[in-house]
Amino acid sequence: MLTSRLAKLSDKSRIFDLYKRVSMNIGGIARTKDEITEDYISVNLKNSMNTGVSLVIENEDATKIIAEIHCYKIIPKVFSHILSELTIVVDADYQKRGLGKLLFKNLLAIVEEERNDILRIELIARESNLKAIQFYKNLGFKIEGRFENRIHNLNNSFEADIPMAWFNKNYKK
């Protein structure tokens, strides 16, 4: 049975490999393969470990990371009650097995149980990704608006980004 765990700095190269694999699939992640750099992974991992949460799932023999989720605090301090920049990736060979749900449930549980300094977790979903939007709603995220024409698709069309937030019932000022 696959389980999630907190990410470690030593996971960086395997997270990088995961993001490269996922970026090759259209709709797998907003970034293209050439936008996935070691620096991009390092910054996300360090920020998540310092101020947020990063979880990974390894394959059965622990040779590959097959799923990852992260979010972290953003600057300035007026946003110190928020985890943002949320990204989740699941290897195409392991999709439809509940790994995304497992990562989200564990992320939300960690925030509820251990992070009473966090009021909200934010994410943004592409308007055409109705399945993801419904998935996030089922986890307790609320739609907070629309960013019209924010995404410039490869086919030269535009679509909205849908900002969503989940609220921590255990937040303490």
Q: What is the pLDDT of residues 108-139, one digit of tens each?
A: 999 999 999 999 999 999 999 999 999 999 99
Considering only 49-53, 68-72, 92-96, 100-104, which range has the smallest mean pLDDT? 92-96
* Residue 27 pLDDT greater than 90, yes or no: no
- Mean pLDDT within 76-93: 96
At residue 120, the pLDDT reads 98
* Residue 159 pLDDT greater than 90, yes or no: yes
At residue 25, the pLDDT reads 83
* Residue 32 pLDDT greater than 90, yes or no: no
Residue 137 tokens read as 């709603």
- 96 DSSP 8-state letter: T
**Average pLDDT over the chain, rounded to an integer:** 95
- Mean pLDDT within 100-113: 98
Are 125 and 136 in contact by the 8 Å Cβ rule? The answer is yes
- Mean pLDDT within 78-88: 97
Please report, rounded to a whole number, the percentage of residues in the chain having pLDDT higher than 70.
100
Its pTM stands at 0.94
* Residue 82 pLDDT greater than 80, yes or no: yes
At residue 57, the pLDDT reads 98
Q: Which residue has the tokens 């590959």?
A: 64
At residue 89, the pLDDT reads 96
Question: Which of these, 1, 41, 5, 6, lies nearest to 20 by C-alpha position?
Answer: 41
CA distance 103 to 101: 5
At residue 173, the pLDDT reads 82
Residue 48 tokens read as 């998540």
- Mean pLDDT within 81-85: 98
Question: Residues 105-136, buried b or exposed e (16+ Cβ, 10 A)?
Answer: ebbbebbeeebeebbbbbbbbbeeeeebbeeb
